[in-house]
Amino acid sequence: MSRKTSDFTRWRVLGGAILVQMILGTVYGYSIFWTPLTTEVFPEVITEAQAAEIVAAGDSTDGYRVVEDEAAVERQEALHQSYVRYAFSICILSFALVMIFAGRLQDLKGPRVPALIGALMMGTGFIVAGLMASPIVFYLAHAVFAGATVLALLMLSRVLLNALPSEKDSIGQFLPWAIVTGVAVGAITLGNQYVGQLGEWDAVFLLWGTIGFLAGAGIGFAYVCPIAALVKWFPKQKGLVSGIAVAGFGFGAFFFKGDPYIISTEWFTIPIPGAQGFADTYGIRQLFVAHGLICIIGVGAGALLLKNPPGVDSHAASEKQSAWQETLRNPAFYLLWLMFFSGAMAGLMVIGIVHPFVSEQLAGTGMDPIRIAAVATAAVGYLAVFNALGRIAWGVLSDWFGRTAVFIGVFCIQAVVMFIIGHLDSPVALCVAAAAVGFNFGGKFALFPSATSDLFGAKNLGANYGWLFTSYGIAGVVGIAAGNTARVMTGSYVVAFTIAGFLCLISAGLALVLRRMQKSATEAV
């Protein structure tokens, strides 16, 4: 390949990487879904006094959920929204776990195949969720989820054993088929028994399985591909190109802000609503269908632009390379894992609830509800923009000053923000805090793949980073659960935010331990 052709190809790969990551990153805009989905799925909650007025007027209270007083209404609505929000936790967990398989597939087949699989899975998840009003969708979703569960079990056994069962091992040979049969029978039985019989829980389970599990799996398949390809095309600028690529992921949530985008020329003006504006105009289910189509088309197009550079194996031979089995035996991996967990937990805890959190913080200030909604939506946009900028900025700084110094800076700043954000109640302060959370959270997605490549080599980056990324998935579940629990039990998120802040400080210390460990290993060689 000529130098000119090679330069064109690597910039084409960079463009495809940004496109893929930008659409995948809309997952960080999920917080705008919770209020309309809660209204869509659960009955309206009213007090006993309101119910008495409805009955006195000759109407029925069917379709309402009646509780004692306004405090009980607030608690019940928070509980309802927490159920819906677990779709985000499931999405993040699925995203992280699937990356184990996707990373290995990327290392074997290149970036294009897993990215195309991801496009189809993410798009299908949203389209099916958008069709939640159709009864047949519940049965189809139930069947697909059962099949996906079987596939995940078989893939997990393949990864853990690193070999197919021996033909001489009759139990191992037929065990997968036994699992398939058992899950299929169970799926049919459960479908006939429960699907369509659980009221609002049918819709909740569908959301968990679609915009949660399926969309998350799609993100997991596609996410690692651009990063792994770019660090091979730009080996001397790992932090920079990782930051640019994942900046697209951070910027994706910006497209879910509520203000319309305006295309204006001398001859015409076209207002294009953001995702929330689209949902307000056409409905949340229509938004899901439209977004699903965008995922399939956009991520698919970006995937076709991805490829590995020629001679990557010979280049990798000059560097230290660790297969994923060797990586999992290295103590440095677990330090990275714990650092990633604490940083991801702090960021996801805010990202998953930023829209309702800002609304709640401003609710007691006497501000106009329309203004509150606008500020909350703006906070989502600021978080997304600075999430993207942080990925580039911290990635460049890590190339200049080293990973350790930047890790310490990121974690210390994030800790300070987590300590104060729960006490803020002004629009400017909340938007600044959201931007700071995004800026520091985003930086980790440029730092950790670069650090993984530094420690374990670029050849097997897909699989190695996939295992490291499991910390992100677990952090998503723990962070959202901690935030929900704190909100329901104490009425605020302060306790959960404070715990996350202390974990970030601990991770800053772990970065120093990691540096000493690396130095000792180098001296030993």
In the chain, where the domains are located:
3-524
Among 49, 71, 75, 79, residue whose Cα is nearest residue 61? 49
Report pLDDT for 295: 93
pLDDT tier, 352 (very low <50, low <70, confident <90, very high otherwise): confident
Calculate Rg over the CA atoms of the chain: 24
SS3 call for 262: strand
Do 387 and 250 meet the contact criterion of CB atoms below 8 Å apart? yes
Q: Convert 174-223 into a string of H (helix), E (strand) and C (coil).
A: HHHHHHHHHHHHHHHHHHHHHCCCCCHHHHHHHHHHHHHHHHHHHHHHHH
Strand ranges (DSSP E) for 48-96? 64-67
**Is it the case that residue 275 has pLDDT exceeding 50?**
yes
Q: What pTM, to 2 d.p., does this model score?
A: 0.69
**Is it the case that residue 175 has pLDDT exceeding 80?**
no
Among 226, 291, 342, residue whose Cα is nearest residue 29? 291
Looking at per-residue pLDDT, the higher value among 189 and 118 belongs to 118
Going by C-beta distance under 8 Å and a sequence separation of 6 or more, which residues neighbour residue 8?
Answer: none
Highest mean pLDDT among 83-87, 125-129, 241-245: 125-129
Strands 64-67 and 44-47: parallel
| Domain at 3-524, CATH homologous superfamily | MFS general substrate transporter like domains (1.20.1250.20)
Do 84 and 207 meet the contact criterion of CB atoms below 8 Å apart? yes
**Is it the case that residue 169 has pLDDT exceeding 70?**
no
**Is it the case that residue 222 has pLDDT exceeding 50?**
yes
Tokens encoding 399: 């190339």
Average pLDDT over residues 285-314: 85
Q: How many CA atoms lie less than 13 Å away from 314 in the CB half-sphere?
A: 3
Q: Rounded CA gap, 26 and 256, in Å? A: 7
Which residues on neighbouring strands pair with residue 264, listed in sequence order?
269
**Is it the case that residue 2 has pLDDT exceeding 90?**
no
Q: Name the region of 259 (left: φ>0; alpha: ψ -120 to 50; beta: rest).
A: beta
Average pLDDT over residues 137-151: 66
Among 99, 88, 348, residue whose Cα is nearest residue 220? 99
| Class of residue 135 by CB neighbours under 10 A (exposed 0-12, middle 13-18, buried 19+) | exposed
**Is it the case that residue 131 has pLDDT exceeding 60?**
yes
Q: Rounded CA gap, 161 and 208, in Å? A: 29
Among 4, 23, 10, 14, residue whose Cα is nearest residue 299? 23
| Range of weakest confidence among 27-36, 45-54, 268-277 | 268-277
| Range of weakest confidence among 16-30, 193-207, 351-365, 499-513 | 193-207
Mean of per-residue pLDDT scores for the chain: 79
121's enclosing H/E stretch is helix 112-130
Average pLDDT over residues 157-163: 58
Burial 267-295 (b: 16+ CB within 10 A, else e): eeeeeebbbbbbbbeeebbebbbbbbebb
pLDDT tier, 429 (very low <50, low <70, confident <90, very high otherwise): very high
**Is it the case that residue 89 has pLDDT exceeding 70?**
yes
Q: Rounded CA gap, 446 and 469, in Å? A: 13
Report pLDDT for 139: 66
| Range of weakest confidence among 135-149, 218-232, 442-456 | 135-149
**Is it the case that residue 184 has pLDDT exceeding 80?**
no
Q: Rounded CA gap, 301 and 119, in Å? A: 9
Alpha helices, DSSP H, located in 402-493: 403-421, 427-456, 461-468, 470-490
Looking at per-residue pLDDT, the higher value among 93 and 256 belongs to 93
pLDDT tier, 167 (very low <50, low <70, confident <90, very high otherwise): very low
Average pLDDT over residues 141-153: 66
